[in-house]
Chain A
């Protein structure tokens, strides 16, 4: 050991200088990276959602790095997304967020998945004055805490149900009675409650409103009851498995209606494939749809280009979850470039002042930090494809009546 040390002690000093230079060079390289923290439920029940988030972030990072990086004051910085698995466990999401900020050396943060976890973690971000974008939090309660550093790309839940109600009211004058069936779960129930409000506000009669338990394997009794009320509009919320089952059992029980709406299944290609003919004429709404046609100023440009890049990388179509993750990255990018610095305070101000068209749609944040410029598309499955019915600037087709 002593001999070993002695040998190194005799190394020419020039070599040591060179080694020192190399070290400082690598330190400089490390500084040319902007780190974004992304706590995600990569394992556990929410894992499928986390994978979508990851795809969205990865696609953005890849595009930015391919283009040389984010320009800050004449210098280009590469993007690195730092992932951490919080195992679908919200308290752990909060811990992970704190660790990433205090020890992980991240420059900016993305929120954990969903409204609940995003709200819980937002208090940590706020304490550290860390600009954070929530890409999957729609509930207004996430943003009404008076926080300055939290921004979100989903509009409140009522922006999904109100345009849908307006279309039905305008195009289907015979529809008077609405039946609402909701999964007894945070987001699906919130959407159903908004639907009830917006239906009543527009003069519809809500003849049935019930919740079904998470993990329900059979809806036959519920559907028999709905059938006996003869509603012209059936509105069901839940996730893909619930909605597929409800749709199948509606056919089984020969339930027909002028309008059938489902949130959030039809936004996913998975639902369209699995429902097949049963999906025909089902209406839905989501914050974004690949059929939208926006001409953005962000790195992705048009919606069509985003869809193309996504297809090339993942061999499937993006839905609003992946697109929201990508646009969150793109919004950070534009804010950082506008601020011309990595200073958290200035980037936060640039984010707050955002007013730009993106492939996701127009983006402007309200006083609470939640986006208020977006009009979520209403769409209908026609001929095995989602056709956008509103808003007018991206409209692709006319509303059709009758789900058999």
Chain B
């Protein structure tokens, strides 16, 4: 029964990891930008959910509808006004730029919210469901479903909508996309906006599960990074696969060799993947 419980824990956690990573994967895959503000976007989303719940008693599920457009606009504007100026520069330049932007956003959050840890606790609490002694917390379950839904929505956007096809076209071959009349700058901004919207929504969901503080942003960013490398860049299902793989490794590793080494194990796996399968589980080879 313990093994079943650990597997279920890992599956649920894996979907949360995927939710954290998917926006990061999109931006890295399409813009070739390692977006270091991603973690702070998630924290900001969590504060949004916390603030709306504390002041107006708006349930986090409704906050998703506020967070998505708000963060989309935020991301779109940041890309248009700032990132776009260096988007064709080598990856180190955009990395440094997002690092700087992250410092600003993160310190602004420390300034306004303080470094104190806060917690969004629903009243009444949602509790847990148990099936044959295997316990699953309801909030995590809903967050998992929401994470899957967000992933699916992104998949639909990329597959079915014109703008989605344009994003994929830019990702595959920027120059050819320009020749076909795709407005690349606008596509970049939309992709970055989508990435930010996904981060904001992830933040709203994480607010229910993790303590909220600007200091947690690096933990989210770290997980997103590992998930992307494991799952493969620029593939929606890759983030999901990477997330579940990471959570399984951590969960099973933690049970077998102790929680102190679970993180080490996941980073060893990361190195192995970087050497043997740099494109990740589901990433496309030859695409940077």
Closest beta carbon of chain B to A276's beta carbon, Å? 5
A240 B211 Cβ-Cβ under 8 A: yes
Q: Known: A47-B115, A213-B262. Contact between A221 and B121, CB under 8 A?
A: no
Provide the A215-238 mask, 1 if CB < 8 A to any CB of B, else 0: 111111110110010000000000
Q: Known: A222-B254, A224-B6, A252-B140. Contact between A210 and B211, CB under 8 A?
A: no
Cβ of B128 < 8 Å from any Cβ of A?
yes
Cβ of A244 < 8 Å from any Cβ of B?
yes
- Determine the main DSSP class of A at the interface with B: helix
Cβ of B258 < 8 Å from any Cβ of A?
yes
Q: Known: A221-B251, A245-B211. Contact between A252 and B119, CB under 8 A?
A: no
A248 B263 Cβ-Cβ under 8 A: no
Collect the chain A residues with CB atoms within 8 Å of residue B219's CB.
215, 217
For the complex, what is the distance from the CA of A276 to the CA of B211, rounded to whole Å?
Answer: 13
Q: Find A213's partner among B117, B128, B263 (CB 8 Å cutoff).
A: B263
Q: Find A219's partner among B1, B135, B259, B260 (CB 8 Å cutoff).
A: B259
Most chain A CB within 10 A, of B6, B9, B264, is at B9
For the complex, what is the distance from the CA of A232 to the CA of B27, rounded to whole Å?
Answer: 48
Q: Known: A184-B260, A215-B222, A241-B117. Contact between A221 and B255, CB under 8 A?
A: yes
Cβ of A254 < 8 Å from any Cβ of B?
yes
For the complex, what is the distance from the CA of A53 to the CA of B243, rounded to whole Å?
Answer: 40
Collect the chain A residues with CB atoms within 8 Å of residue B211's CB.
240-241, 244-245, 248, 274
Q: Identify which of residues 77-96 in chain A touch chain B, using a CB-to-CB cut-off of 8 Å.
A: none
B137 A252 Cβ-Cβ under 8 A: yes
Most chain B CB within 10 A, of A211, A215, A220, is at A220
Q: Known: A225-B2, A245-B210, A252-B135. Contact between A274 and B118, CB under 8 A?
A: yes
Selected A-B contacts with CB under 8 Å, 10 pairs: A213-B263, A217-B210, A217-B223, A218-B13, A218-B247, A224-B9, A240-B117, A249-B137, A252-B128, A254-B130
Q: Which residues of A contact B (CB under 8 A)?
A: 45, 47-48, 181, 184, 210-213, 215-222, 224-225, 228, 240-241, 244-245, 248-249, 251-254, 270-271, 273-278
Q: Which residues of B contact A (CB under 8 A)?
A: 1-2, 5-6, 9-10, 12-13, 115-119, 121, 125, 128, 130, 135, 137, 139-140, 209-211, 213, 215-216, 218-219, 222-223, 247, 250-252, 254-255, 258-264
